[in-house]
Amino acid sequence: GNSVTQMEGPVTLSEEAFLTINCTYTATGYPSLFWYVQYPGEGLQLLLKATKADDKGSNKGFEATYRKETTSFHLEKGSVQVSDSAVYFCALIHYNAGNMLTFGGGTRLMVKP
C-alpha cells in the first residue's frame, strides 16, 4: 500500500536558518504529493503540492520538488521565521487507489528568535 515517511522532530532552528524536512514515499505509479502545515491551535492547511515528476511546489518561501527517482518530496525554506513554527505533514494521494490522502507522521518545527 501507499505510505509516507517523514523525519522525526522536533526540528529546532534559529531565525533565518535554512530548513530541510525530509519526506519519502512508497506508492505505485504517479501519486500527487502535498505538504500540509498545522499552526498551534489550528487545523491542517495546504502549504504546497506537486502533481507530477520534477514539478516544484512553492508557497510562502517554502519549496518542494517531486523526485520520482528517489521517491522524495523534501520541504525546504531558505530563511525561516519564528512564525513558521508549526507541525508539517507530508502526504500523497493516488487517484487510482481510492482518492484518499495518506499522511506522514508530521514533523514539528520550532524556530527561535
Partner 1 sequence: ETGVTQTPRHLVMGMTNKKSLKCEQHLGHNAMYWYKQSAKKPLELMFVYNFKEQTENNSVPSRFSPECPNSSHLFLHLHTLQPEDSALYLCASSHPNKASGGLGGELFFGEGSRLTVL
Residues that bind partner 1 (CB under 8 A): 32, 34, 36, 41-46, 49, 51-52, 89, 93, 95, 99-101, 103-106
Distances (CA, A) of 16 to 8, 40, 86, 103, 109: 21, 20, 16, 28, 13
Distances (CA, A) of 15 to 21, 44, 58, 59: 16, 23, 20, 18
* Least spacing, CB of residue 43 vs partner 1, in Å: 3
Decide whether 17 or 67 has the Cβ nearer to partner 1.
Answer: 67
CB 101 within 8 A of CB 93: yes
Decide whether 17 or 44 has the Cβ nearer to partner 1.
Answer: 44
Decide whether 17 or 110 has the Cβ nearer to partner 1.
Answer: 110
* Least spacing, CB of residue 96 vs partner 1, in Å: 11
In the block, cell 518542494 appears at 64
* Least spacing, CB of residue 11 vs partner 1, in Å: 16
